[in-house]
Amino acid sequence: MNIRKLAKLAGTSYSTVSRALNDSPLVAEETRLKIKQLASELGYSIDAAAQALATGIKKIIGILYPFHSLRPHESAFTSQAIDMIRQQLLRFHYDTLIAGYENPAQPDEESEEITRLLRQKKVDGIIVFGYEVPPPQLIELKGMNQPFLLVNPPPIPEAEGCTRIIIDHEYGGLLAGQQLLKAGRKRLLCLMENSLQFEVRTRGFERAMREGGSGAYWEKRMLPNGLYDTAYDFVKRNLSYVKSFDGLFVQSDISSIGVLNCLMDHGVLVPDEISIIGFDDIVWAQYTRPRLTTIHQPREELASIAASAIIDLVLRKKQRGEAWCLKPVLVVRESCK
């Protein structure tokens, strides 16, 4: 079966069938659906290479995320969000090419990993995850006039004017602080990592203390990374210190589970003695014992918006610059009621 035979069976022209299969707005909706239905029944599939030559569109979106050796073990949220975006793109018949990028070793060094896929014309557009995206790459992206979308970008001037999906991390930190205070906790500890994203979450937590934490005391401590073992070992080495608090805001679920398990292994009852709130709401948060109270990042909404937005940019249906701000949601489970 080829496209000319399909056109003959459909009783229309070759060009109309070609436009219909490529979702051209020049073809009436009823005609387009009829042709697609017939193609499906006859087992006809589009030659992707020929389509790309004819339209200039490969139907491939690049998804880039900040990569380092620990990343696959630290951020279950990122992997879940990427998979949801991949599934949403498939609904539009777009495939994905997933790659990582790293920050330059020195502030004045250049990194071309983010723009490479566009410069080499391997993809129609790219979705870039993360606070870690280097500002020089944002400047270069903005100058390329190519379709790109930022997901959870850093709050820096270089991100202004880009199409982007912002997650309100400060609001998430505020929710965590408010819930610990609501649970009657007065001696609070923030466990965070040394990056801007965690600083923003802490800023929200601090706001909760200012607005409703009369009589509450809180501290913050840095963890070197977001690994389960790192958090578990921190609590084990500093057990007396951690037990001096009655509420913990651990700013990622992977770390939260490490903290929770270490406390329980050493006979500290959660939430009777210490309440714990995590951040991300990864799948495993609902399977801990007790189940983890956490801040849900809106993965489903993010994925739906991201897929539609990047395709609109590829098809030139939208201009660059649209922005969405997604609010995290408190998910109350047994670890902090």
Whether 63 contacts 126, CB under 8 Å: yes
pTM, entire model: 0.81
Q: What does the pLDDT look like over 163-177, one tens digit per residue? A: 999 999 999 999 999
Name the more confident of 113 and 171.
Answer: 171
Whether 111 contacts 136, CB under 8 Å: yes
Q: What is the largest CA-CA distance in the chain?
A: 80
**What is the distance between the terminal CA atoms of the chain, rounded to a whole angstrom?**
62
| Strands (DSSP E) found in 213-281 | 217-223, 247-250, 275-277
What's the one-letter identity of residue 263? L
Domains of the chain: 3-55 (1.10.260.40), 60-168+299-327 (3.40.50.2300), 169-296 (3.40.50.2300)
Residue 21 has a pLDDT of 75
Q: What does the pLDDT look like over 72-91, one tens digit per residue? A: 556 788 888 999 999 999 99
CA-CA distance, 34 to 20, in Å (whole number)?
A: 9
Residue 108 has a pLDDT of 46
Q: What does the pLDDT look like over 254-279, one tens digit per residue? A: 999 999 999 999 999 999 999 999 99
Q: What does the pLDDT look like over 300-335, one tens digit per residue? A: 999 999 999 999 999 988 889 999 999 999 999 999
